[in-house]
Amino acid sequence: MHDPVTLVALLHGPDQPGLVARVAGWIFARGGNILHADQHRDREAGVFFQRIEWIPAPAAMDPAVAAGDFCSFAATLGMTARVAASDQRPRIAVFVLKADHCFHDLVLRGKAGEFAGEIVAVVSNHPDIAPAAAAYGLPFHLIPVTSNEKRAAEARQLALLADLEVELVVLARYMQVLSGDFLAAFRRPVINIHHSFLPAFAGGKPYHQAHERGVKLIGATAHYATAALDDGPIIQQDVARVTHRHSVADLVRKGRDLEKIVLAQAVRWHLENRVLVYGSKTVVFD
């Protein structure tokens, strides 16, 4: 037996009395059965956030229509809403350079059914990953990026993403900064993994910086990419203990485990519509 299709709404807007009851009442009145509802108030900012998941009434034949209706209703409450159906599986492009641990990890988790989405393209500016992508049966796209021709390369990437109807880009240790123009043109979320506990050690050589500073923990941070380098809203972070015995190479090795787990968790949460961005922060309904 299949699980029934559910709808998930993420909504936010100015806080006011009665929001929890009104949203629940609207769904109930249309024959929906609420499975989960989780909300948060930012008291200082006066903002209300909610993730609510429900099974629509069988008569509400078309989830797309039900989603549109909900967004209209949310607007009457002054709320912005985004609704997804559980049988929609966003199409994902993974961007990768040479370090391939996050790439393998994402693909194997996808095959194990951990993600509510499909990896449909692997993009790199080096051919190294091509055979591994082929072994997994994944289309590989070589798009070389040189400093003079970055704009042209990004245009090719954007065309590919549009062509493949990609809804999420995951930078799996891609090590290239996507320009603000790229992000503005793509208009879809891009998740990046940074190999430090941000805001410590932003930039290009975080393990070297961590070793130099003598920290006792190293970290990894998954965040949405923004035009400002390593400064986007943080989705997930984790750390591991290190000592004076660990060389930079040891930090790199230990960091790989952090990067894999942190990035995979961020991607999983995003695909399950658990992450709401506001300002420079995220609300994660886990």
Catalytically active residues, by annotation: 230
Cis amide bond preceding 199, omega within 30: yes
CB of 166 to a copy of itself, least distance (A): 25
Q: Which is nearer to a copy of itself, 122 or 166 (CB)?
A: 122
Q: Which is nearer to a copy of itself, 182 or 224 (CB)?
A: 224
177 near a copy of itself (CB under 8 A):
no
Could you tell me which residues come within 8 angstroms of residue 214 by beta carbon, excluding any fewer than 6 positions away? 244
69 near a copy of itself (CB under 8 A):
no
Q: Find, among 192, 190, 96, 204, the residue nearest to 143 by Cα.
A: 96
| Position among 66, 198, 225, 267 found at the interface with a copy of itself (CB under 8 A) | 198
User: Residue with structure tokens 């609510």?
Assistant: 52
Rounded to an integer, what distance in angstroms lies between the CA atom of residue 11 and that of residue 67?
12
38 near a copy of itself (CB under 8 A):
yes
Amino acid identity for residue 240 in this structure: A
Could you tell me which residues come within 8 angstroms of residue 161 by beta carbon, excluding any fewer than 6 positions away? 93, 121, 169, 186, 188
Rounded to an integer, what distance in angstroms lies between the CA atom of residue 74 and that of residue 19?
10
Q: Which is nearer to a copy of itself, 151 or 253 (CB)?
A: 253
Could you tell me which residues come within 8 angstroms of residue 138 by beta carbon, excluding any fewer than 6 positions away? 107, 119, 121, 122
Write out the binding residues for a copy of itself, residues 212-251 only, by CB under 8 A: 213-217, 219, 233-239, 243-245, 247
Contact string 4-23 vs a copy of itself (x = CB under 8 A): -------------xxxxxx-
85 near a copy of itself (CB under 8 A):
no
| Position among 85, 86, 91, 114 found at the interface with a copy of itself (CB under 8 A) | 114
Stretch that binds a copy of itself, among 5-13, 28-36, 66-74, 170-178 (CB under 8 A): 28-36
Exposed/middle/buried for 100, CB within 10 Å: 0-12, 13-18, 19+?
Answer: middle
**Which spans of this chain sit near a copy of itself (rule: CB under 8 A)?**
17-22, 24-25, 27-28, 33-43, 49, 101, 104, 108, 112, 114, 135, 197-201, 213-217, 219, 233-239, 243-245, 247, 253, 256-257, 261, 280-284, 286
